[in-house]
């Protein structure tokens, strides 16, 4: 059977001459990073509908429908009937489909991580043959799996021949002692890549696990868990992706995604009112404005200025009980500062007017690492 894989991230599709499923996944992964697929607006070659199968990497059926309408029309009724969905990296692709997150610093970060290790003199002395060996990636504890596509990227940046075999879907939750993936390559390449791959996988999966605990603590409150920009330099988009795997929601990923007046903006510019007026005259139409408030007077001024969201930052319990009821349902309320697993539900239920959001910096800057290992055979 011949496969046609459609990359909804880059709006591209390609036909593969290979019929082996695992090789197809590797081929798609390389195109995913190199962006070398065929342009989607080129004419689809004629193929027998009965021999054509689709690999689709997207969650959104409506997006899929729009992207491949022409291909389905070419294939006809038989193609639509026989179509299969094989979403290996579905969660990953969904997150990075946004133009603001695509590729941002990830490849450069991998290159820097590999350069830090320099030459593996031990492996080069011991293994002179390029005969392929297998590296088995194991989850040693019950955990979310976040970051499996990084294994393929690390190998690709080493510029070596390899095969990646995915054994679980990215973003899933697995039991302890589960083999989640396998890499076939020369021993020197596997040993060079081993620690870099594990560093990404353990870190990102740990963030997903930690986030899930906060989400569970909020269950039933109706409050949405947000992350922050308190991320590791160069890893922000990977870490924010891991938050979504654990069930959290991203606050702004960068400074362009939201107009937000923080304490230093307000102190330097003079007042919330003046700053809001300046923002509205600077941008037309003006995006929604969030204001960080430290006092009740700040809350009153932000409401008078007509902002869209008010962040109650590092307020005491008494101040929160006074501030939250002041904020009408038409204005979003966010609680931030000093939030932990032990007190997050307390903050969610501190007033009859519950916050819409609670943002937690610990999700990305304090998450324990998950336990994965790689064994070679």
Alpha carbon 179 to its chain's center: 22
Residues 124 and 183 occupy one common structural domain: yes
Residue 247 DSSP class? T
For residues 23-46, give the mean pLDDT: 39
- 3-class secondary structure per residue, 209-233: HHHHHHHHHCCCCCCEEECCCCCCC
Closest CA to 71 of 41, 28, 37, 38: 41
Which pLDDT band, with edges at 50, 70 and 90, does 105 fall under?
confident
Rounded to the nearest 10 degrees, the angle between the axes of helix 106-117 and helix 236-245 is 110
Span of 66-70, 133-137, 140-144 with lowest mean pLDDT: 66-70
In total, how many domains does the chain have? 3
With respect to residue 96, please indicate whether it lies within any of the assigned structural domains. no
My answer on whether 51 and 136 are in the same domain is no
pLDDT the model gives residue 257: 84
Looking at the fold, whether 273 and 348 belong to one and the same domain comes out as yes
| For residue 303, pLDDT beyond 60 | yes
Residue 209 has pLDDT above 90, yes or no: yes
Q: Do residues 321 and 247 both lie within one domain?
A: yes
CATH of the domain at 309: 3.20.20.70
CATH of the domain at 183: 3.90.1170.20
Residues 201 and 226 both lie in one domain: no
Both 221 and 352 in one domain: the answer is yes
Q: Are residues 228 and 348 in the same domain?
A: yes
192 lies in the same domain as 221: no
Say if 94 falls within a structural domain. Answer: no
Residues of the chain with pLDDT > 70, as a percent, come to 73
- Rounded to two decimals, the pTM is 0.78
Same domain, 145 and 277: no
Last residue of a domain, one of 87, 117, 134: 87
Domain finish residue from 57, 87, 117: 87
Residue 27 reports pLDDT greater than 70: no
> The domain containing residue 141 runs over which residues?
106-207+368-376
Helices (H), the chain: 21-34, 61-67, 69-82, 90-96, 106-117, 121-126, 149-157, 187-217, 236-245, 263-269, 272-282, 296-305, 317-323, 344-348, 362-365
User: Are 227 and 330 in the same domain?
Assistant: yes
- Is residue 43 one of the residues assigned to a domain? yes
pLDDT of residue 95: 76
| Shared-domain flag, residues 223 and 355 | yes
46 and 145 inside one domain: no
Assess if residue 98 is contained within a domain.
Answer: no
């Amino acid at each position: 059977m011949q496969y046609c894989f459609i990359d909804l991230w880059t709006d591209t599709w390609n036909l593969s001459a290979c019929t082996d499923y695992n090789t197809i996944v590797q081929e798609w992964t390389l195109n995913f990073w190199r962006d070398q697929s065929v342009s989607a607006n080129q004419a689809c070659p004629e193929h027998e509908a009965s021999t054509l199968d689709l690999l689709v990497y997207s969650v959104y059926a409506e997006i899929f429908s729009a992207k491949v309408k022409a291909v389905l029309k070419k294939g006809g009724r038989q193609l639509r009937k026989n179509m299969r969905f094989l979403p290996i990296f579905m969660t990953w692709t969904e997150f990075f489909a946004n133009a603001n997150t695509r590729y941002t610093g990830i490849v450069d970060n991998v290159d820097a991580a590999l350069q830090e290790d320099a030459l593996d003199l031990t492996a080069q002395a011991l293994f002179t043959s390029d005969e392929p060996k297998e590296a088995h990636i194991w989850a040693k504890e019950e955990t979310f799996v976040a970051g499996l596509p990084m294994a393929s990227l690390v190998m690709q940046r080493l510029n070596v021949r390899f095969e990646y075999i995915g054994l679980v879907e990215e973003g899933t939750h697995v039991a302890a002692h589960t083999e989640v993936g396998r890499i076939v390559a020369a021993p020197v390449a596997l040993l060079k890549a081993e620690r870099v791959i594990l560093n990404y996988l353990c870190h990102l999966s740990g963030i997903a696990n930690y986030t899930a605990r906060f989400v569970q603590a909020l269950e039933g409150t109706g409050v949405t868990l947000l992350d922050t920009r308190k991320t590791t330099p160069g890893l922000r988009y990977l870490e924010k992706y891991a938050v979504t795997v654990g069930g959290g929601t991203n606050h702004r990923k960068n400074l362009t995604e939201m107009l937000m007046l923080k304490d230093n903006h307000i102190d330097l510019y003079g007042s919330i009112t003046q700053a809001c007026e300046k923002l509205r005259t600077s941008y037309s139409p003006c995006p929604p404005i969030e204001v960080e408030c430290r006092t009740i007077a700040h809350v009153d001024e932000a409401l008078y200025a007509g902002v869209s969201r008010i962040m109650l930052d590092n307020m005491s319990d008494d101040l929160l009980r006074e501030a939250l009821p002041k904020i009408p349902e038409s204005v979003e309320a966010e609680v931030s500062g000093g939030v932990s697993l032990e007190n997050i539900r307390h903050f969610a239920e501190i007033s009859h007017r519950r916050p819409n959001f609670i943002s937690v910096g610990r999700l990305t800057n304090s998450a324990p690492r998950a336990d994965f290992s790689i064994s070679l055979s």
